[in-house]
A = this chain, B = another copy of it.
Amino acid sequence: VERRTDQPAKPAKGRSRPARAPRKRVTIADIAREAGVSVPTVSKVLNDRGEVAAATRARVQDALTRSGYRRRGSPAPRRAGLVDFVITELATPWASEVLRGAEEEAHRNGVGLVVTATHDHHAGARQWAKALAARRSDGVILVVSDLQASVAEQLQSLHTPFVLIDPVGGYDPSLPTVGATNRAGGFSATEHLVELGHRRIGIITGTPDLVCSQERLDGYRAALGRAGIPVDEALVRHGNFHADGGRRGAAALLDLDEPPTAIFASSDEQASGVYAEAHRRGVRIPGELSVVGFDDVELCEWLTPPLTTVRQSLAEMARLATRMVLDREAQRSAEHPLRIELATRLVVRESTAPPRG
């Protein structure tokens, strides 16, 4: 029988006890009773000492975890107060924006953001996964990471919630993801060029295995189709999201016998590569070549002329992902993982104009 205080309730003075009687601590005696063994045996299991039969150890271990046993002096397990942010490369304008949003939201919630760049090395990824378990991170944000497949299972077994930003290789409906309306964005970029009067519009795609690359290309095809312009496959160059992809793609397009009068680059950074190649050839933007980017990072305003682009709120995507990962309540109640897409919208600046003639 538990003892109770019979005193009438008084206004608390100084440090007051919590109202409800504190639940009695689980002791190893309780565990021993539950598992049908003696106290010393439990102690041995707990300290990994002495010989214990495998079956006995398992029974004790089980009782231990079920009861949520904790050593006497040991403090209640504080939340780590950390969220892991994992990305392939940190030092790109795109990554900076995503990181900025995640950092803001993490700190608004009083948790620290642990940042890891994997560089797509699998060795580094394994090391990271180990460290993650050790620091008992409260959640993980995986950004365009080809870790997603190998790590998702591990995270699930650690009960660590995670969200993917811009997943790789097609949607796995069992994984929660945050992205943007890439198809609509690709559509509006292309439509804008069509409306200016362009008929030969090139596209340079992003990293091919990313869902967002494929969708932007889908949008491009759809907009041309809508305008009754057949897609000339010579105008579709597969590249990557970086400046070198833009340079190479632009070079290939401008080398065509009938070069495009406009290029839809799949990222702003890639568009800067298109600028560089155009500049090298003395092709003026937008006079002789219109360029549209994607992302709307700060770089757009640093380029001359400022870049017309499709805005996706990368920081907002990251804020949302961070919130999802930190919202334990939602984690528990959600029946299905989520796929969230944020809107995109065309931002017209000075890199697009009607074609000459």
Q: What residues make up the interface of A, taking CB atoms closer than 8 Å to B?
A: 71-75, 78, 80-82, 84-85, 90-93, 95-97, 99-100, 103-104, 107, 110-117, 124, 127-128, 131, 134-135, 243, 269, 272-273, 275-276, 279, 298-299, 301-306
15 further interface pairs, Cβ-Cβ under 8 Å (given A82-B135, A95-B96): A72-B72, A73-B73, A73-B74, A81-B134, A81-B135, A82-B114, A91-B97, A91-B298, A99-B115, A104-B117, A110-B127, A112-B114, A243-B298, A272-B302, A304-B304
Residues of the B chain whose Cβ atoms lie less than 8 Å from the Cβ of A110: 127, 131
Cβ-closest 6 pairs across A and B:
A71-B73, A272-B302, A112-B114, A91-B100, A91-B96, A279-B304
A112 touches B96 (CB 8 A): no
Q: How many copies does the complex hold?
A: 2
Knowing A113-B114, A299-B302 are in contact, say whether A96-B107 is a contact too (CB < 8 A). no
Q: List 30 A-B contacts (CB under 8 A).
A: A71-B73, A71-B74, A72-B72, A73-B73, A73-B74, A74-B74, A82-B112, A82-B135, A85-B115, A90-B96, A90-B103, A91-B100, A91-B298, A100-B117, A103-B115, A103-B116, A104-B117, A110-B131, A112-B114, A112-B131, A112-B135, A113-B114, A113-B116, A115-B115, A243-B298, A276-B302, A276-B306, A299-B299, A299-B302, A302-B303
Q: How far is the CA of A100 from the CA of B95 in the complex (A)?
A: 11
Residues of the B chain whose Cβ atoms lie less than 8 Å from the Cβ of A243: 298, 301-302
A91 touches B99 (CB 8 A): yes
Q: Report the minimum CB–CB distance from A247 to chain B (whole Å).
A: 10
Q: Which residue of B lies closest to A96 (CB)?
A: B91
Residues of the B chain whose Cβ atoms lie less than 8 Å from the Cβ of A107: 116-117, 124, 127-128
